[in-house]
Amino acid sequence: MLFLFVGLWGCQRQTALIIDVRSQGEYNTEHIANAILIPHETIGSEIEKIEENRGREIIIYCRSGHRAGLAKTILEGMGYTHVTNGGGLMDMKAKGYQ
């Protein structure tokens, strides 16, 4: 069962849109390659940055997973259905994201 989960996460990694919801300063210090920055407090007003990706898997991360959870709730309230809280930056790295 663990193999299946890891395999599915690997599939997500190749096609998912990755959103970093931390601050600009945190993002500048370190972030996952190809992640776009949309701070959690502005995700509702900056939705046009990802609107074309409505049907795509979206993985959101922050430092600990808390802000990612808040952003996930906002996106789900706006009709996004394929949103995953990736946790914190270190969680994402542990899953193989660089």
Task: Identify any residues that bridge with 44 across adjacent strands, giving them in sequence order.
Answer: none
2 burial type by CB count under 10 A (0-12 exposed, 13-18 middle, 19+ buried): exposed
Give the burial string for 46-79 (b: 16+ CB within 10 Å, else e). eeeebeeeeeebbbbbbbebebbbbbbebbeeee
Whether 62 is catalytic: yes
Residues 62, 74, 83, 89: which is the catalytic one?
Answer: 62
Catalytic residues: 62
